[in-house]
Amino acid sequence: GVEALTGLGVLPRAMAALGGYRCIECNGEATELYRDYQRGVLRISICKSCQKPVDKYIEYDPVIILINAVLCKAQAYRHILFNTKINIHGKLCVFCLLCEAYIRWLQLQDSSQNPDPDDLIRYAKEWDFYRMFGIASLEQTSFFIGIFITLWWMTPEMLKRKSDFILLLKALLLSTYGKLLLIPAVIWEHDYTPLCLAFIKVFVLISNSQAIRVTLNLNRILPWFAIFFGLILENGVVCLFWKMGWDV
Band of the pLDDT at 207, cuts 50, 70, 90? very high
**Residue-level pLDDT at 11:** 42
**Residue-level pLDDT at 14:** 36
Domain ranges of the chain: 21-83, 88-244
CB atoms within 10 A of CB 84: 17
**212 with 223: CB under 8 angstroms?**
yes
At 206, which helix (H) or strand (E)?
A: helix 193-216
pLDDT mean over 224-234: 95
Q: Is the dihedral of CA 222, 224, 230, 232 positive or negative?
A: negative
**Residue-level pLDDT at 231:** 95
pLDDT mean over 133-158: 91
Using the predicted structure, report yes or no on whether residue 86 has a pLDDT greater than 70: yes
Residue with the bigger pLDDT between 11 and 205: it is 205
Query: 108 CB contacts (<8 Å, ≥6 apart)?
Result: 128, 132, 247
**Residue-level pLDDT at 19:** 47
φ, ψ at 244 (rounded to 5°) = -80, -5
